[in-house]
Structure 1
Amino acid sequence: MLLRKKRVLIIYYSFTGQTKLLLNRIIEGLEGEGIEVTVQQLTPVSPYDFPFKSYYDLLKATIQTFFSLRSEIKPVEKTFSGCWSRIILAGPTWSYHPSGPVLDFLDRYGKELRDECVIPLISCRAYWRIHHWELRRHLKKYGARMEPPIVFTHLIREPWRTIGLILQLRGKMVRRENSWFRKRYPGYGHNREQTFIALDLGKKLAQTILAEE
């Protein structure tokens, strides 16, 4: 008797590359254990500039995302309903909420997630619970089954975490390694240790899936 190969679908949006950084290691862990992984990237029709050209543009985007304004995405190529062991829905937190592209995806394709087992993956500076609540509300409405989220926060303390985020989004990050700022803010986003954690999570998820009937 032939056993059906275990498959995981990853749907994601990454603005600064931090979500993609984590997913690369999770995928490595999944595939290393024999899981077949399919990836669907969400691409906005009119993406924000990165870095932002002015502080006004950054403030405007912050206000828009605070009110959960959608960012229209290009049509996706893959069908999401199917024989998936898990679906990972990944993206950053924007002003406490899921990103505009992820919200647009749920509005347009959420019905295809009915009866699918979905794992949210959240990359954020610190505050993710509203993001998670909003995803849970949408997924429940569409009849998806939701597992506990995978959450990665930026580990540097405030106020440096927020200051560093603003500088990164404006393309003005201090580059001198021996500067007083870099001593307090070694770098933007997730650190190397977190990528190893992501790799281990991918392996553990694969082992859980393989143990299922």
Structure 2
Amino acid sequence: MADRPATAPRILLLFFSLSGQTRRLIRAMADGMRAAGADVVEARLRPERPIPFPLPSLRRTFWMMLRTFFRARTPIRPLAPEARSGRFDLVVLAGPTWSFNPSGPVLAFLDRDGAAVLGGRTVLPVISCRGYWRAHWWGLYGRIRRCGGRPLAPWVYTHPVAEPWRTLGVLLTIAGWNVKRVGFLARRYAHYGHSEDQVRDAAEKGRRFVRWMADRPPGG
């Protein structure tokens, strides 16, 4: 108990997750933060029209990739009142990379709610991706700044499989293929998504970050 902060910081974990990978990281992070004494609020960005996972075909997958390459927005449902009006010492904004960019729901959030939720607050981006996250981060950094937020360096989690098998595995999994039945790929692509080590890392980082906040509050 000695590592708990004297005053519990309030943290908003705001995230979008299509396949469940970002959700795994955020739930682990929330557990670590709560274990260190933080008051954590989780709020998931939900599209107005649910997006199926996996997608029904390769054609639908390529069409979605093309649209998201040009940063197409995905309209989202209204945020929970607490996420919009609560006082938070930190906002975690998490989501996957879609075609080198933030996901459509995250972009829609920034357009509609970014200034209200992020303005004047410290923002910790968490990126879940296949491997190519820098363009996502550069775009997100500018958007957070324009919303009045103070972005910290991102926490980035990539899928722990070597290329080109990672790209093939992710693409086919999103399109609904069972890659374990694709002989040449099954031997090189053990599983889709993040490893248990990465999930444990998210929990430990969350715990340590709350301890850091107790020593040096980031503001907001």
Do they superpose with TM above 0.5?
yes
Establish whether residue 114 from structure 1 lines up as the match of residue 102 from structure 2.
no
The amino acid that maps onto 2:125 is P
Identical pairs, percent: 38
Establish whether residue 152 from structure 1 lines up as the match of residue 121 from structure 2.
no
The amino acid that maps onto 2:31 is E
2:141 to 128, 136, 139: 136
Match of 1:100 in 2: 104
In the alignment, the residues of structure 2 paired with residue 152 and residue 108 of structure 1 have an alpha-carbon distance, to the nearest angstrom, of: 27
- On the 8 A contact 1:93/1:128 being kept in 2, the answer is yes
Structure 1 regions of 5+ residues with no counterpart? none
- On the 8 A contact 1:52/1:170 being kept in 2, the answer is yes
In the alignment, the residues of structure 1 paired with residue 185 and residue 111 of structure 2 have an alpha-carbon distance, to the nearest angstrom, of: 41
Match of 2:206 in 1: 202
Match of 1:48 in 2: 51
The amino acid that maps onto 2:44 is Q
1:171 shift after superposition: 1.9
Establish whether residue 10 from structure 1 lines up as the match of residue 13 from structure 2.
yes
SS in 2 for 1:52: coil
Q: How many residues align?
A: 210
Match of 1:91 in 2: 95
1:181 shift after superposition: 2.9
The amino acid that maps onto 1:49 is P
Aligned Cα root-mean-square deviation (Å): 1.7
1:193 shift after superposition: 1.0
Q: How does 1:174-193 map to 2 (within 5 A)?
A: 174-175=179-180, 180-193=184-197
In the alignment, the residues of structure 2 paired with residue 35 and residue 152 of structure 1 have an alpha-carbon distance, to the nearest angstrom, of: 23
The amino acid that maps onto 1:208 is W
- On the 8 A contact 2:58/2:172 being kept in 1, the answer is no
Structure 2 regions of 5+ residues with no counterpart? 1-5
- On the 8 A contact 1:55/1:170 being kept in 2, the answer is yes
